[in-house]
Amino acid sequence: MTLLRAEHLTVRFGGLVAVKDVSFSVESGQIFCIIGPNGAGKTTLFNLFSRIYAPSAGRMLLDGVDFTTLPPHRIAQLGIARTFQNLELFDHATVLENLLVGRHRFRRHGFLAETGFDQVVWQAELESRRAVENIIDFLDLHRFRDTRVGALPYGVRKVIELGRALCSQPRLLLLDEPSSGLNAEESEDIGYWILDIKRHFGITVLMIEHDMRLMGQVSDRVLALNEGSVLAEGSVQEVQSHPQVIEAYLGVQA
């Protein structure tokens, strides 16, 4: 079953076409990886799927539902969560508090209900705590629970950002360069978490990755972009051995 469909997506910034007529489908349960040199349009695609940008042309569907013009604050409710290429955590808040932010989409009660602290609100709060504890267990974050995020090493903060996205119980998880800033060992660990996310929760993952080792470790399917256009799509082997992909990466005629 297709979970995400991108149909003829185009994004223009003034005279620059950052994404050109890009189409692809992500099947439910897949780990789908987007690769490409710097400036290829990868993050711009993610900014479309999280509705930070609007496409100049084309449309996007999640499970058959067109969300091309859905307001950005409805994206989490639709079941899409993301992480950022450069971490976006609250450094002055604790790990637990940052993870609870991931539960935001389940808050449906107004101020009056919250001040009244009625039974329904209490139930929702309990449910949120339970979901967060589940993710703390899963990612083995117990010892950091009450630590300020800003005081933690970069590698741990990357895992926390992943955890916050998981707390929203998404159907589609968007990871923008999960290994950026990590050493080889930490990068391999992130790879295991990503595989576990698929196995454990059955969440579909769409990720952008620079590190070819990590890409090969986790991907079911790969899309290569260059200068906003699709160069190739297929298995890891197919894409890695594609002459145009080799040329785009190495800058030589293959």
Ligand X SMILES: Nc1ncnc2c1ncn2[C@@H]1O[C@H](COP(=O)(O)OP(=O)(O)O)[C@@H](O)[C@H]1O
Helix axes 184-201, 154-167, angle to 10 degrees: 10
Q: Which of 51, 63, 60 is nearest to 2 (CA)?
A: 63
Min dist. Cβ of residue 177 to Mg ion (A): 7
Q: Residue from 39, 58, 181, 216 that binds ligand X (CB under 6 A)?
A: 39
Q: Does 155 bind ligand X (CB under 6 A)?
A: no
Give Dmax (Cα) for the chain.
68
Element spanning 250, H or E: helix 243-250
User: In whole angstroms, what is the distance from residue 162 CA to residue 87 CA?
Assistant: 10
Q: Select 152 or 231, whichever has its Cβ closest to ligand X.
A: 231
Q: Near ligand X by CB under 6 A, which window of 11-19, 21-29, 92-100, 188-196?
A: 11-19
DSSP 43: H
Binding site partner of 55, from Mg ion, ligand X, none, Cβ cut-off 5-8 A by kind: none
Q: Does 242 bind ligand X (CB under 6 A)?
A: no
Binding site partner of 36, from Mg ion, ligand X, none, Cβ cut-off 5-8 A by kind: ligand X
In angstroms, the first-to-last Cα distance of the chain is 36
Residues 6+ apart with CB under 8 A from 158: 87, 178, 181, 182, 186, 190
Q: Does 245 bind ligand X (CB under 6 A)?
A: no
DSSP one-letter string for 12-23: EETTEEEEEEEE
Binding site partner of 44, from ligand X, Mg ion, none, Cβ cut-off 5-8 A by kind: ligand X
Which residues on neighbouring strands pair with residue 211, listed in sequence order? none
Q: Does 13 bind ligand X (CB under 6 A)?
A: yes
Note the residues at the interface with Mg ion (CB under 5 A): 42-43
Q: Residue from 43, 169, 187, 226 that binds ligand X (CB under 6 A)?
A: 43
Min dist. Cβ of residue 231 to ligand X (A): 12
Which residues on neighbouring strands pair with residue 60, listed in sequence order? 6
Q: Does 29 bind ligand X (CB under 6 A)?
A: no
Q: Does 42 bind ligand X (CB under 6 A)?
A: yes
Q: Near ligand X by CB under 6 A, which window of 25-33, 35-43, 86-94, 118-126?
A: 35-43
Give me the residues that bind ligand X (CB under 6 A), please.
13, 16, 18, 36, 38-44
